[in-house]
Amino acid sequence: MAKAKLRTGDVIDGFTLGEVAHKGGMARLWHVTHPDHTEPMLMKVPDLGEGGDPATIVGFEMEQMILPRLSGPHVPHVIAIGDFSVQPYVVVEQISGTSLYPWLERLPLAPEEVADLGAKIATALVSLHHQKVVHLDIKPSNIMFRETGEAVLVDFGLARHLELPDLMDEEFRLPYGTAPYMAPEQVLGHRSDFRSDIFALGALLYFFATGKRPHGDPQRLKGLKRRLWRDAVPPRALNPAIPLALQEVILRCLEINPARRYPTAAQLAVDLQDLEHVALTPRAAKMKRDSWSVVIKRRFNPDPMDMVKPEKMTGQLYDAPIIAAAVDLSGSSPELLESLRIMVSRAVEQTPNARIACLNVLKVNRITLDSTLDSTGNNKHVKRLVDLKSWASGLKAPDGGITFHVLEAVSPATAILEFSRENHVDHIVMGARAETAMRNLLGSVSGEVAAHAPCTVTVVRNRVWPEVEEPKGGWVGP
């Protein structure tokens, strides 16, 4: 039977307990060693003492179910799990980096630091959501950073795996979470929406940018429910140094209705990585909270929340893809450019929440210095950007749904591949150049991209009709 109290030196399944690394409200983390494992490890053991919260046990069951199913650099690697009939525990790798929690001592942070942190955390959420897990407790103490820079999400006691039973929902009626970061729908008991994590990240960004929490730290359900109708003070009203684009991002994350937030963490990460391309709405310039008339209307006649059923939640990720349109403005025929535009238009029609990133690569020399001006004295980069926007002028997408990027690189294929990896692109659409001796000798850009891309690649080419030899004597009519 599990021990209510453990001590340094106790041995559990071959793991020897060292010193306590951290004592939380629901569990303790112990440094442990094992003769078969040389890497630094931590053992998480739930608090089973007198007066403990039953949710501690249920949450630990959920963590034991979810963690072994996860992989990648954004979650801790699981080494061993202990059964409740003997001693419940989870042994994981000890992350060598630091927690985000100590950063609270120097808030507010510079806007560029806030955006960089947010992009790394959003990238971790991309990985988690694609593994069908909603974390539901995103907060500073649950975010670690590896020495290599990747954000690592820890503590899955409140998480929901969309393909596993939700024990927390089945056994408890009160919402569980950390008050400052809980999404409105989470307060109402909805635990299956990836966009709840986006709200929590928005609350964290707000806190790190202003030094204040957007909805305070209420300890009662009544206080938690205020966020269903009362908006936060705009961040720029508290810290004017915050750029318009960063306020746009933060307030979009904090929208009450999940449908008005970013549809995916991938789209959020793209904006945080490049604030210059964020499309500004009235949110960006807002300096006051909503008027009382708006608040009262929202309080007593709220808009119905757009909640997605758990079984359809994974499909939502694919309803809001990031599509990169790689456009070769100088080497493609007008017919190929038009075919490429038609293909991208069809993708937008089929997935109206798609984010379109229009790319053009300005090839530079590896050794010699390139002139930034063309033969007519125009800036090459600016001209490419103007031409790219002209090519995309016929595409129909929601406001902010199209961004434009001129990448300067030695290798066009490498530039497209790096952009796609860094920006979580789901689908690359590009044209294929006509056959040439040089292309046959060195290989095509589209071929290299298709061979190494981390996502689907569609290569558009114009149909070449075989020439029909005219019969001798001319065509014969009917």
Reference 7, options 37, 45, 40, 36; nearest CA is: 45
Question: In this predicted structure, what is the pLDDT of residue 438?
Answer: 42
Question: In this predicted structure, what is the pLDDT of residue 74?
Answer: 97
User: HEC profile for the chain?
Assistant: CCCCCCCCCCEECCEEEEEEEEECCCEEEEEEEECCEEEEEEEEEECCCCCCCHHHHHHHHHHHHHHHHCCCCCCCCEEEEECCCCCCEEEEECCCCEECHHHHHHCCCCHHHHHHHHHHHHHHHHHHHHCCEECCCCCHHHEEECCCCCEEECCCCCCEECCCCCHHHHHCCCCCCCHHHCCHHHHCCCCCCCHHHHHHHHHHHHHHHHCCCCCCCCCCHHHHHHHHCCCCCCHHHHCCCCCHHHHHHHHHHCCCCHHHCCCCHHHHHHHHHCHHHCCCCHHHHCCCCCCHHHHHHHHHCCCCCCCCCHHHHHHHHHHCCEEEEECCCCCCCHHHHHHHHHHHHHHHHHCCCCEEEEEEEEECCCCCCCCCECCCCCEHHHHHHHHHHHHHHHCCCCCCCEEEEEEEECCHHHHHHHHHHHCCCCEEEEECCCCCHHHHHHCCHHHHHHHHCCCEEEEECCCCCCCCCCCCCCCCCC
Find out whether the peptide bond into 471 is cis, omega within 30 degrees of 0. Answer: no
Q: What is the rounded distance in angstroms from the CA atom of residue 32 to the CA atom of residue 38? A: 11
Report pTM: 0.86
**φ and ψ at residue 137, rounded to 5 degrees:** -150, 45
Q: What is the rounded distance in angstroms from the CA atom of residue 176 to the CA atom of residue 193? A: 15
Q: Hey, where are the domains in the chain?
A: 11-93, 99-316, 321-460
Give CATH for domain 99-316. 1.10.510.10
Structure tokens at 47: 């608090």
Long-range contacts from 382-386, C-beta under 8 angstroms, 24+ separation: 384/329, 384/360, 385/360
Those residues of the chain that have pLDDT short of 50 are: 437-438, 440-442, 474-478
Residue type for position 165: P
Please say whether the beta carbons of 260 and 248 come within 8 A: no
Q: What is the rounded distance in angstroms from the CA atom of residue 132 to the CA atom of residue 264? A: 13
Q: Assign domain 321-460 one CATH number from 3.40.30.10, 3.40.50.2000, 3.40.50.2300, 3.40.50.620.
A: 3.40.50.620
Question: In this predicted structure, what is the pLDDT of residue 440?
Answer: 47
419-437 pLDDT per residue, tens: 899 888 999 999 886 655 4
CA dihedral 207, 210, 215, 219 (to 10 degrees): 60
Reference 128, options 317, 371, 262; nearest CA is: 317
The three-point CA angle 355-357-362 to 5° equals 175
CATH superfamily of the domain spanning 11-93? Phosphorylase Kinase; domain 1 (3.30.200.20)
Structure tokens at 272: 């945080």
Residues facing 407 on adjacent strands = 361
Question: In this predicted structure, what is the pLDDT of residue 478?
Answer: 41
- 420 burial class (0-12, 13-18, 19+ CB within 10 angstroms)? buried
Task: Tell me how far CA of residue 319 lies from CA of 259, 348, 349, in angstroms.
Answer: 13, 10, 11
**φ and ψ at residue 29, rounded to 5 degrees:** -110, 125
